[in-house]
């Protein structure tokens, strides 16, 4: 219950009342996504990507469980078992393509969801815990996607596993033993494949658990909104059902159209052709690149080509890549501005736009080969990325003069003052 005027769940049937006494699950659902959750009346379409991320998580879990029924996690036959899914299993090609492209759609949804939070100050008080849990979900999703990509045991799978576990080698003193511990060997092989399969199966359920906590943490302060102004009365909200269930339903339909279009007409457009070559420990592909959703972080990793004081370049790259995401954990305390929404922060708006372009540039460089001019551009873009969070945001919150905020959500929508008497 986020607001005192939220509609109370009142079961009308005998069964409903009995259920409500024994295990109030219907009440829980009603209060989470039903009429029992009053949401701000002015949410724009940027607020639809949370439900889409949830939808694609479900798609991934369903298709993933099915794929696991046919896949064999053994280095000798993993690649062939994927081909068996593609050629022999009824609708197997469709289920595998749904899983491969569903990962991309999950990340599209989650990136837009994160970007929405960054712009509208959704990470600020009283929603810090909500934001922190969101970052945890993102980190878990990264780990899950990486391990899933290894399973087909193609060239990109193998060398991706080798390169990413090789990052841990950069840790001073204990790096090498840690890498061997992670792989269960000196290079990716059966042991690594088996544990990646096990963890790839486990982690999505951990994600689902954190998602539940994420929604729980959302429902205590209630949703943020495009004005960033707190909800002040019943008129500022509408019941989640039917208003936002219908709105979410509409974008779910839209997303599924794009998703199926990609799945049926361009199923390999986002993949890398090299992963259709079986893993070969003795030959490296010309360009080892991750899937598109990791390109920005990959660019930051590769930007550090120089040693700094006593820290070798390899370690710097690893530290920078992890810091690029870990910095999000500190965001609620780096951005001190009392104004939540970027709509009322003229300078912030400009810098936010630059940050989006910066991340897109990083993404392009991450997908490009590691040669000039991309290395140089990566270095500049990576420097700006960190400057945005560590320098620009803290300074902005002190120097910027925000525009006047509306008195209430209702006033910003209708132009008439909120009638607090009702």
Partner 1 sequence: MATVETADTAVAEEGGVRRRDFINIAAVSFAGAGAVATVFPLVNQMNPSADVLALSSIEVDISAIETGQAIKTSWRKQPIFIRNLTEAEIAEANAVDAAGLRDPESLADRTTPGKENWLITLGVCTHLGCVPLGAAQGEIKGEFGGYFCPCHGSHYDTAARIRKGPAPTNLVVPEHEFLSDTVVKIG
> Of the candidates 28, 45, 88, 333, which one interacts with partner 1 according to CB under 8 A?
88
Q: Is 232 in the site for partner 1 (CB under 8 A)?
A: no
Q: Is 76 strand, coil or helix? A: coil
> Of the candidates 57, 73, 95, 145, which one interacts with partner 1 according to CB under 8 A?
95
> Of the candidates 58, 62, 208, 380, which one interacts with partner 1 according to CB under 8 A?
62
Q: Which is nearer to partner 1, 194 or 251 (CB)?
A: 251
Q: Is 91 in the site for partner 1 (CB under 8 A)?
A: yes
- How far apart, in whole angstroms, are the C-alpha atoms of residue 136 and residue 329? 9
Q: Is 271 exposed, middle or buried (0-12, 13-18, 19+ CB in 10 A)?
A: buried
> Of the candidates 66, 82, 183, 207, which one interacts with partner 1 according to CB under 8 A?
66
Q: Is 280 strand, coil or helix? A: coil
223 catalytic residue (yes or no): yes
Q: Is 238 in the site for partner 1 (CB under 8 A)?
A: yes
DSSP string for 356-372:
HHHHHHHHHHHHS-S-T
239 phi, psi to nearest 5 deg? -60, 140
C-alpha closest to that of 157 among 59, 280, 60: 280
| Strand 237-239 with 38-40, pairing | antiparallel
DSSP string for 2-50:
-STTSPPP---SHHHHHHHHH--HHHHHHHHHSTTSEEETT--GGGGHH
> Of the candidates 249, 281, 346, 369, which one interacts with partner 1 according to CB under 8 A?
249
C-alpha closest to that of 148 among 226, 213, 207, 227: 207
Which long-range contacts does 245-249 make (Cβ < 8 Å, 24+ apart)?
245/33, 247/43, 247/48, 248/48, 248/51, 248/52
- Select the span of 163-171, 228-236, 326-334, 364-372 touching partner 1 (CB under 8 A): 228-236
Question: Which one of the listed residues 291, 337, 341, 388 is annotated catalytic?
Answer: 291
Number of residues in contact with partner 1, rule: CB under 8 A? 21
Q: Is 237 in the site for partner 1 (CB under 8 A)?
A: yes
Burial code (b: 16+ CB inside 10 Å, e: under 16) for 68-102 equals eeebbbebeebbebbeebeeebeebebbbbbbbbb
247 catalytic residue (yes or no): yes
Write the interaction track for partner 1 spanning residues 188-217; mark x where CB under 8 A is met and - where it is not.
Answer: ------------------------------
Q: Is 267 in the site for partner 1 (CB under 8 A)?
A: no
Q: Is 410 in the site for partner 1 (CB under 8 A)?
A: yes
Q: Among the residues of 220-345, which ranges form H helices?
A: 245-265, 295-303, 313-326, 331-334
Q: Is 417 in the site for partner 1 (CB under 8 A)?
A: no
Rounded to a whole number of angstroms, the minimum distance from the CB of residue 380 to partner 1 is 46
Q: Is 311 strand, coil or helix? A: strand
- How far apart, in whole angstroms, are the C-alpha atoms of residue 267 and residue 261? 9
C-alpha closest to that of 321 among 340, 304, 297: 297
Q: Using CB under 8 A, which residues numbered 138 to 157 contact partner 1?
A: none
Q: Which is nearer to partner 1, 67 or 218 (CB)?
A: 67
- Select the span of 217-225, 235-243, 295-303, 339-347 touching partner 1 (CB under 8 A): 235-243
Question: Which one of the listed residues 70, 84, 247, 349 is annotated catalytic?
Answer: 247
Write the interaction track for partner 1 spanning residues 353-382; mark x where CB under 8 A is met and - where it is not.
Answer: ------------------------------
Rounded to a whole number of angstroms, the minimum distance from the CB of residue 279 to partner 1 is 22
Q: Which is nearer to partner 1, 239 or 312 (CB)?
A: 239
Question: Which one of the listed residues 162, 200, 219, 241 is annotated catalytic?
Answer: 219
20 catalytic residue (yes or no): no
> Of the candidates 16, 19, 20, 41, which one interacts with partner 1 according to CB under 8 A?
41
- Select the span of 86-94, 136-144, 262-270, 296-304 touching partner 1 (CB under 8 A): 86-94
> Of the candidates 94, 208, 383, 387, which one interacts with partner 1 according to CB under 8 A?
94
SS3 content of the chain, % helix, strand, coil (to 5): 65, 0, 30
Write out the residues near partner 1 by the rule CB under 8 A: 41, 62, 66, 69-70, 84, 87-92, 94-95, 234-238, 249, 410
**Catalytic machinery residues:** 219, 223, 247-248, 291
């Amino acid at each position: 219950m986020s607001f005192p005027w939220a509609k109370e769940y009142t079961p009308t049937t005998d069964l409903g009342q009995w259920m409500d006494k024994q295990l109030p699950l219907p009440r829980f659902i009603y209060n989470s996504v039903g009429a029992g959750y009053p949401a701000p009346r002015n949410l724009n379409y940027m607020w639809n990507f949370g439900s889409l991320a949830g939808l694609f998580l479900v798609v991934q879990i369903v298709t993933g469980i099915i794929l696991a029924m046919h896949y064999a996690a053994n280095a000798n036959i993993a690649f062939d078992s994927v081909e068996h899914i593609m050629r022999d299993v009824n609708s197997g090609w469709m289920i595998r393509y749904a899983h491969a492209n569903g990962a991309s759609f999950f990340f599209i949804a989650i990136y837009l969801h994160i970007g929405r939070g960054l712009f509208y100050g959704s990470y600020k008080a009283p929603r810090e815990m909500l934001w922190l849990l969101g970052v945890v979900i993102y980190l878990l999703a990264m780990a899950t996607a990486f391990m899933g990509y290894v399973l087909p045991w193609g060239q990109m799978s193998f060398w991706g596993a080798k390169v990413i576990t090789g990052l841990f080698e950069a840790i001073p003193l204990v790096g090498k033993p840690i890498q061997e511990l992670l792989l269960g060997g000196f290079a990716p092989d059966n042991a690594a494949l088996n544990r990646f399969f096990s963890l790839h199966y486990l982690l999505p359920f951990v994600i689902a658990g954190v998602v539940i906590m994420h929604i729980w943490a959302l429902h205590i302060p209630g949703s943020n909104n495009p004005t960033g102004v707190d909800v002040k009365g019943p008129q500022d909200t509408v019941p989640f059902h039917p208003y936002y269930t219908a709105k979410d339903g509409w974008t779910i339909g839209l997303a599924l159209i794009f998703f199926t279009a990609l799945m049926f007409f361009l199923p390999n457009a986002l993949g890398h052709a090299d992963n259709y070559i079986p893993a070969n420990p003795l030959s490296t592909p010309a360009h080892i690149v991750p899937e598109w959703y990791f390109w920005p972080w990959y660019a930051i990793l590769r930007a550090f080509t120089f040693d700094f004081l006593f820290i070798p370049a390899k370690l710097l790259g690893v530290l920078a890549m992890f810091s690029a995401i870990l910095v999000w954990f500190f965001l609620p305390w780096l951005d001190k501005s009392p104004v939540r929404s970027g709509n009322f922060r003229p300078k912030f708006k400009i810098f936010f736009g630059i940050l989006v372009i910066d991340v897109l540039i990083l993404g392009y460089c991450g997908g490009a080969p590691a040669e000039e001019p991309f290395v140089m551009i990566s270095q500049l873009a990576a420097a700006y990325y960190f400057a945005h969070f560590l320098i620009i945001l803290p300074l902005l919150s002190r120097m910027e003069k925000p525009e006047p905020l509306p008195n209430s959500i209702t006033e910003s929508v209708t132009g008439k003052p909120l009638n607090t008497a009702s």
